[in-house]
Structure 1
């Protein structure tokens, strides 16, 4: 009991600290001073993480107390509270499902029908994520309320955008689970929190980077995440990689270097070497957190055989809890809502951004389950190329010849990886084994593949 009281004491002290911090200085004042030095993101990151810690630390102590006290074995009353504690700490009892139809039992479709479905899925992915990318840059890099006499205001809270995306994704996953009623999985619910935390930190870095680098730089960095994923795979899962994966990593590194040598010179919006360096550091943080997310989810898929929608539900539930609590304790939630009410265009952009994110994930699920991961990877790689071209066209980013050559090298390396990965998969596809495919673990059951490519 004393440990539980200590948990709540820590929680209250953290909230008091966050509240007093808001009284000493307004968030806008802090941001305007620190951003001029190029280090404002560091303070924001620390404050966000402290907000998450007010949930993580009490949760850790409660789980430890439940395990050490033997509550699950000795509890007399086993009602709703007991079941909730059991799901969080120990996991559900597994269900045995009989009579599940195999692929051979599904109704065969003609090539024309498959082609129509593929066009719909590919178009849905392109429209969803290209629109999402354009709006992402519009929200984070441009002002609202501009007039001939006023420069307007920029929305600066990346964490609020993460929350907006996660809440709709959570509701979508909950609706799909309610409709499908899949069998329960035995994963302890708290294990979702690890990849949820890394997922929201990677998403925060993704939005925050747009304050310091151009959107093409951000997209190219996301396309290059195979490098930190391989490094994290070595650390987390003790992976062994093949020669083509190392060749791909080297080519991507060369292409990124070529691109970054010209970044900060030709892009009018980001012409400071200091802010460009800050943006590169944030993008490295994005790739590191994202690679941990992929590898941790791969371990969960391998150990508990869950569906992608169940993973989507669990991760987004914790993401909503982390972000809404941090926003409230810092006083940013009300500020962001007031900004949304002040500028109707921003409200519209947030709604469309969230819809694109949620529908994009559903298109991903359908594409992989029907056509496999190779087709999906090709579509998403093309989407990244189109995103760079679209951003340069809409927002007038100027890229030098060396930068375009760097982009070409990176995407040639990605298509080389796709080709080589397909050859490896053909050799190892029998038996439904886990196959290391360079960008994270890919279970041969295709619906498990999609979550590693949705970092919105």
Structure 2
């Protein structure tokens, strides 16, 4: 799942192009390809072995997942990536077309999300994968029963809600000023920086393939930084020439 989500930059760019005919600078395509390839290499060349299924209900005798089950998982992942791409590209379009702030978008998105999840949580729906996984009763009843059984979970839930809300403030501020492509690049490279930090703090070992993947990601980020630095320098040179021309006149 993490490996699939590391390719999120690709559907975000594709949806921007397909839905809103948005064009990107050529170097953006190179940066997206390098970051996606680097994180894929980092995830794929790790020492972790894929876990086997706990039961053979949906697989073979060894508990391995069947082709059908794997297809369902991949389908869920692709749907998630497509919806992510459509959401981010639509947010870019809203910021470009209407004068809204990141906080306003954050507020209204959370209002609609709260309304939808509240309705789903109290309706006695039959079991629906993803939307209503409870076998019986409502989602709200199951959640309250869990809290009654494990009252210590209240404090972590409050901390999770607080940190999530604060994090959203920065997310939507970045969306407003820099766009979804930059935001997704930040979130993906943040995961890589977290893993590299674990190497320093907890002395985790990386394989040569993972170091190579990290190098590809940093090279992609460097391309982005170099292009921006070049553009800023060119803009300054142009401004200086214009000032000199005006002064001469």
In the other structure, the counterpart of 2:12 is: 229
Q: Is the contact made by 1:267 and 1:399 (CA closer than 8 Å) also made in structure 2?
A: no
Q: Deviation at 1:393?
A: 8.8
Q: Is the contact made by 2:16 and 2:89 (CA closer than 8 Å) also made in structure 1?
A: yes
In the other structure, the counterpart of 2:121 is: 327
Q: Is the contact made by 1:268 and 1:397 (CA closer than 8 Å) also made in structure 2?
A: no
Which stretches in structure 1 are left out of the alignment for 5+ residues? 1-208, 429-456
> Taking structure 2 as the reference length, what is the TM-score of the superposition?
0.63
Q: Deviation at 1:415?
A: 4.0
In the other structure, the counterpart of 2:33 is: 250
Q: Deviation at 1:423?
A: 4.8
Determine which of 361, 364, 380 is the counterpart of 2:168: 361
Q: Secondary structure at the match of 2:87?
A: helix
Higher relative contact order (CA 8 A, sep 6+): 2
1:304 paired to 2:98:
yes
Structure 1 residues 413, 363: closer, same or farther in 2, change over 3 A? same
Q: Distance in 1 between matches of 2:205 and 2:116?
A: 38
Q: Deviation at 1:380?
A: 5.7
For residues 190-221 of structure 1, the C-alpha deviation after alignment (integer angstroms, 9 at most, x for no partner) is xxxxxxxxxxxxxxxxxxx5xxx5xxx47xx3
Moved more, 401-410 or 384-393: 384-393
Determine which of 194, 204, 229 is the counterpart of 1:387: 194
1:267 paired to 2:74:
no
Count matched residues.
Answer: 207
Q: Is the contact made by 1:258 and 1:402 (CA closer than 8 Å) also made in structure 2?
A: yes
In the other structure, the counterpart of 1:344 is: 151
Q: Distance in 1 between matches of 2:77 and 2:217?
A: 16
In the other structure, the counterpart of 1:406 is: 213
Determine which of 104, 112, 120 is the counterpart of 1:318: 112
Determine which of 288, 294, 303 is the counterpart of 2:82: 288
Structure 1 residues 368, 252: closer, same or farther in 2, change over 3 A? closer
Alignment of 1:198-209 (within 5 A): 209=1
Q: Deviation at 1:407?
A: 3.6
> Taking structure 1 as the reference length, what is the TM-score of the superposition?
0.37
Q: Secondary structure at the match of 1:270?
A: coil
Structure 1 residues 243, 366: closer, same or farther in 2, change over 3 A? closer
Q: Secondary structure at the match of 1:306?
A: coil
Q: Deviation at 1:262?
A: 3.7
Q: Distance in 2 between matches of 1:410 and 1:278?
A: 30
In angstroms, what is the RMSD of aligned CA positions?
4.2
